[in-house]
């Protein structure tokens, strides 16, 4: 068997997988998105994004996912630096601590937060015991941002960790030799060298945050409608797959844009760890 | 490390597959799609033991979540349990199969005549559905947090209880509250009336703690909220857990509903489905289910078997319906459904 043929054979399951579970569903979404109930071609489904309740939920989703992404970045960067800086043995324990919760189902963890954050929940019970002011965060946009940060933080840490670990110690030392202080070294050397990791981290947090409906449903008390919730409801409750697909196509534009940006900066595939 | 994990995974999957095959399968299977926490699991085991038919059991939270799955036909269920208006819709769309009542002798003998009569509203010839549970929708309130008498839907708009109110996240139920509050029919298709209801619900939104379905029960038991819209069947259960809770049917009237066993047209095991429905209509089984889920049973024979006088005469489980202004949901047609759904979306996206 020639080498090329072996390669093809080995790839076959993956071709089949992507055809059946990526390409085909995508075509179905496009088909539903541009047809109406009678199967006639229409752009009304896509145009309906301009309806006030749709556009509002889209902006709110963008707003909340940008806020979450920024918070994730600010928290993840120092953490990734700590993980890289400390010796190999200890850092693997630290990395483990981060990855361990991800072994548990994401839905369960979010539901756990629902119970923790409730007005008479565990956290408030502790605060009450310590005579501290109580928190009333559940069912607010703040709770949704909290849930997004909690769930997606590891997706920011890991690519940052990868690109920080790749920096040659000698480059940092050279900067020091040439008289740069810590701040200068960070902004002129470390930060620019980790841009690929930053970009893939941003994509990996922003995209799932933009499309989530589970977090907003569980922690928002179904009071706050994000674009993901609108689409989910069109499929599961209203049974209007055409409108749901049309709105998905609009959402896909945002996802594709952020993927392209990330691909431009992240040529080595830092984010491909996960 | 990775390899070991893979081996573990393969082992786990094959063990699961083996246990699945291990159970006796002689009587075939019956795929049941029912509301969440709407049956005593022990009755399913008893059914399996007595008939040798294996039960595949799935759950849903609202009629609206159940409908697309059944209508799309991707999953073929043998028995489902939709409410009145959904039965009507499914009959009209030719999604249901006629039940052969010769195979379901327990249904006609045990279920009270008035429930068959009421069913004619959505199943005019009593051909497709067998009543399973019925009840009303009302307000559950916590006596320690609400000290005024509760008798009207209007209390759900009282700013005193801001952040203490739980509403149903289900389009027909939530509109029912607002429509009845204003004295309109809960089946209204009048746009003016629906707009009044919509604006009321938007005005109420800042006072609402959350739109939930099954969680109303747990949140009320846990003193998370003062007032919640709830199905009467949950009320007895919540009172058992938290004696501070009280259930009322508001004076403006409410929905009296019946959930019914039906067999979808595409069922693969309709004979087993009939056996299952017949089993559920047996007085002892209906009693077990009533004790477990505390939803009012239309099974008169089972009601006679209830030992606790307080429960048998309970105004919550078996209210004197003639005292209240009651109405039953009817199917609104595709345009009506769309109208309601769009208005609901406006409420949900409002500030």
Q: Are residues B129 and B199 in the same domain?
A: no
Its domain, for residue B341, covers 135-255+325-349
Residue B16 lies in a domain: no
Would you list the domain boundaries of chain A? 1-33, 46-273
Q: Are residues B214 and B343 in the same domain?
A: yes
Q: What is the pLDDT of residue B14?
A: 45
Inter-chain CB proximity A237 and B64 less than 8 Å: yes
Q: Are residues B225 and B300 in the same domain?
A: no
Confidence of residue A119 (pLDDT cuts 50, 70, 90): confident
| Of the candidates A256, A261, A262, A234, the residue with the CA atom closest to the CA atom of residue A247 | A234
- 3-class SS of residue A214: helix
- Checking if the pLDDT of B9 tops 50, the result is no
Calpha distance B46→B138 (Å, rounded):
34
Q: Are residues B178 and B32 in the same domain?
A: no
Q: Are A162 and A197 in contact (CB under 8 A)?
A: yes
Q: What is the pLDDT of residue A84?
A: 86
Q: What are the pLDDT digits (tens) for B141-179? A: 999 999 999 999 999 999 999 999 999 999 999 999 999
Q: Is B212 on the interface with A (CB under 8 A)?
A: yes
Residue B5 lies in a domain: no
For the segment B263-291, the average pLDDT, to the nearest whole number, is 96
Residues 31-90 of chain B with CB under 8 A from chain A are 62, 64-65, 67-68, 71
Q: What is the pLDDT of residue A87?
A: 60
Residue B154 lies in a domain: yes
Q: Are residues B181 and B242 in the same domain?
A: yes
Q: What are the pLDDT digits (tens) for A133-167? A: 998 899 999 999 999 999 999 999 989 998 998 99
Q: What are the pLDDT digits (tens) for B25-34? A: 578 999 999 9
Calpha distance B178→B158 (Å, rounded):
14
Q: Are residues B86 and B217 in the same domain?
A: no
- Checking if the pLDDT of B292 tops 80, the result is yes
Q: What are the pLDDT digits (tens) for A44-78? A: 999 999 999 999 999 999 999 999 999 999 999 99
Q: What is the pLDDT of residue A259?
A: 86
A221 vs B contacts (CB less than 8 Å):
208-212
Q: Is the complex ipTM more than 0.90?
A: no
Q: Which residue has the higher pLDDT, B99 or B322?
A: B99
Residue B18 lies in a domain: no
Q: Are B323 and B115 in contact (CB under 8 A)?
A: no
Q: What is the pLDDT of residue A139?
A: 92
Report which DSSP code applies to B162.
T
- Checking if the pLDDT of A274 tops 50, the result is no
Comparing A63-67, A268-272, B3-7, B98-102, which segment has the lowest mean pLDDT?
B3-7
Q: What is the pLDDT of residue A270?
A: 53
Q: Are residues B29 and B46 in the same domain?
A: yes
The domain made up of A46-273 is a member of CATH 1.20.120.790: no
Q: What is the pLDDT of residue B314?
A: 87
Confidence of residue B216 (pLDDT cuts 50, 70, 90): very high
Comparing A138-142, A258-262, B29-33, B341-345, which segment has the lowest mean pLDDT?
A258-262
Q: What is the pLDDT of residue A88?
A: 63
Confidence of residue A91 (pLDDT cuts 50, 70, 90): low
Q: Are B81 and B67 in contact (CB under 8 A)?
A: no
Number of independent structural domains in chain B: 2
How far is the alpha carbon of B117 from chain A, nearest alpha carbon, in Å?
30
How far is the alpha carbon of B265 from chain A, nearest alpha carbon, in Å?
19
- Checking if the pLDDT of A89 tops 80, the result is no
Q: How many helices and strands (H and E) does chain B possess?
A: 15, 11
Inter-chain CB proximity A223 and B211 less than 8 Å: yes
Sequence-distant (6+) residues with CB within 8 A of B228 are B139, B140, B141, B165, B166, B167, B216, B219, B220
Q: Are residues B272 and B124 in the same domain?
A: yes
Structure tokens at B191: 């746009």
Q: Are residues B40 and B120 in the same domain?
A: yes
Q: What are the pLDDT digits (tens) for B98-142? A: 999 999 999 999 999 999 999 999 999 999 999 999 999 999 999
B345 vs A contacts (CB less than 8 Å):
53, 225, 230, 233
For the segment B247-261, the average pLDDT, to the nearest whole number, is 95
Q: Which residue has the higher pLDDT, A16 or B2?
A: A16
Calpha distance B245→B217 (Å, rounded):
11
Calpha distance B296→A90 (Å, rounded):
60
Q: Which residue has the higher pLDDT, A120 or A226?
A: A226
Q: Are residues B288 and B332 in the same domain?
A: no
Residue B15 lies in a domain: no
Q: Are residues B235 and B345 in the same domain?
A: yes
For the segment A84-109, the average pLDDT, to the nearest whole number, is 79
- Checking if the pLDDT of B17 tops 70, the result is no
A237 vs B contacts (CB less than 8 Å):
62, 64-65, 68, 171, 341
Calpha distance A211→A231 (Å, rounded):
9
For the segment A258-268, the average pLDDT, to the nearest whole number, is 81
How far is the alpha carbon of B109 from chain A, nearest alpha carbon, in Å?
36
Q: What is the pLDDT of residue A85?
A: 84
Confidence of residue A264 (pLDDT cuts 50, 70, 90): confident
For the segment B49-62, the average pLDDT, to the nearest whole number, is 95
For the segment B190-217, the average pLDDT, to the nearest whole number, is 95
Give B324's Cβ-side CA count (13 Å radius).
Answer: 25
How far is the alpha carbon of A123 from chain B, nearest alpha carbon, in Å?
14
Closest residue in A to B336 (Cα) is A238
- Checking if the pLDDT of B351 tops 90, the result is no
B100: domain CATH number is 3.40.190.10
Q: Are residues B39 and B152 in the same domain?
A: no
Calpha distance A113→A111 (Å, rounded):
5
Q: Are A209 and A146 in contact (CB under 8 A)?
A: no
Mean pLDDT of chain B: 91
- Checking if the pLDDT of B22 tops 50, the result is no
Q: What is the pLDDT of residue A2?
A: 67
Residue B91 lies in a domain: yes
Inter-chain CB proximity A237 and B348 less than 8 Å: no
- Checking if the pLDDT of A131 tops 50, the result is yes
For the segment B28-45, the average pLDDT, to the nearest whole number, is 95
């Amino acid at each position: 068997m020639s080498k090329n043929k072996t390669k093809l054979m080995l790839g076959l399951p993956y071709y089949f997988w992507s055809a059946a579970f990526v390409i085909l569903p995508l075509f179905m979404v496009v088909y539903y998105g541009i047809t109406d109930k009678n199967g006639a071609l229409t752009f009304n489904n896509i145009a309906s994004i301009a309806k006030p309740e749709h556009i509002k939920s889209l902006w709110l989703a963008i707003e909340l996912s940008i806020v979450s992404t920024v918070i994730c970045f600010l928290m993840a960067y120092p953490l990734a630096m700590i993980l890289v800086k400390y010796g190999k043995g200890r850092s693997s324990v630290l990395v483990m601590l981060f990855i361990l919760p991800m072994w548990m189902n994401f839905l369960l963890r979010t539901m756990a937060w629902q119970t923790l954050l409730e007005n008479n929940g565990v956290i408030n019970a502790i605060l009450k015991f310590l005579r501290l002011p109580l928190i009333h965060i559940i069912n607010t946009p703040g709770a949704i941002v909290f849930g997004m940060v909690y769930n997606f933080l590891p997706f920011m840490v890991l690519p940052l960790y990868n690109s920080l670990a790749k920096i040659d110690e000698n480059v940092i030392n050279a900067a020091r030799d040439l008289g740069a202080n810590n701040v200068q070294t960070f902004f002129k050397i470390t930060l620019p060298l980790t841009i690929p990791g930053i970009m893939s981290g941003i994509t990996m947090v922003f995209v799932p945050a933009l499309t989530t409906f589970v977090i907003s449903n569980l922690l928002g008390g179904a009071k706050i409608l994000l674009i993901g919730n609108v689409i989910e409801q069109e499929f599961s409750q209203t049974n209007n797959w055409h409108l749901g697909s049309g709105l998905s196509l609009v959402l896909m534009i945002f996802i594709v844009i952020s993927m392209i940006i990330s691909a431009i900066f992240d040529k080595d595939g830092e984010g491909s760890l996960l | 490390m990775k390899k070991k994990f893979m081996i573990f995974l393969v082992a786990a999957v094959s063990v699961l597959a083996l246990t699945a095959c291990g159970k006796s399968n002689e009587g075939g299977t019956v795929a049941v799609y029912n509301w969440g926490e709407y049956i005593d699991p022990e009755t399913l085991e008893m059914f399996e033991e007595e008939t040798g038919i294996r039960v595949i059991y799935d759950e849903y939270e609202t009629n609206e979540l159940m409908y697309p799955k059944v209508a799309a036909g991707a999953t073929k269920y043998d028995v489902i349990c939709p409410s009145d208006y959904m039965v009507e819709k499914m009959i009209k769309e030719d999604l249901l199969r006629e039940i052969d009542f010769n195979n379901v002798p327990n249904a006609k003998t045990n279920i009270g005549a008035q429930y068959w009569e009421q069913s004619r509203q959505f199943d005019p010839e009593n051909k497709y559905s067998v009543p399973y549970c019925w009840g009303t929708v009302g307000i559950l309130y916590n006596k320690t947090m609400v000290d005024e008498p509760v008798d009207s839907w209007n209390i759900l708009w009282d700013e005193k209880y801001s952040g203490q109110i739980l509403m149903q996240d289900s389009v027909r139920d939530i509109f029912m509250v607002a429509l009845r509050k204003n004295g309109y029919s809960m089946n209204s298709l009048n746009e003016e009336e629906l707009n009044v209801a919509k604006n009321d619900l938007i005005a109420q939104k800042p006072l609402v703690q959350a739109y939930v379905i099954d969680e109303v029960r747990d949140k009320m038991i846990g003193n998370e909220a003062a007032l919640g819209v709830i199905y009467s069947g949950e009320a007895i259960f919540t009172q058992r857990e938290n004696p501070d809770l009280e259930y009322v049917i508001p004076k403006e009237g409410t929905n009296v509903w019946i959930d019914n066993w039906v067999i979808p047209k595409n069922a693969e095991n309709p004979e087993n489905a009939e056996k299952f429905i017949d089993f559920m209509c047996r007085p002892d089984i209906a009693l077990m289910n009533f004790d477990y889920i505390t939803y009012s049973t239309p099974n008169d024979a089972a009601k006679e078997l209830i030992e606790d006088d307080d429960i048998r005469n309970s105004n919550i489980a078996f209210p004197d319906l003639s005292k209240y202004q009651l109405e039953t949901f009817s199917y609104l047609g595709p345009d009506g459904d769309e109208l309601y759904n769009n208005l609901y979306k406006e409420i949900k996206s409002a500030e």
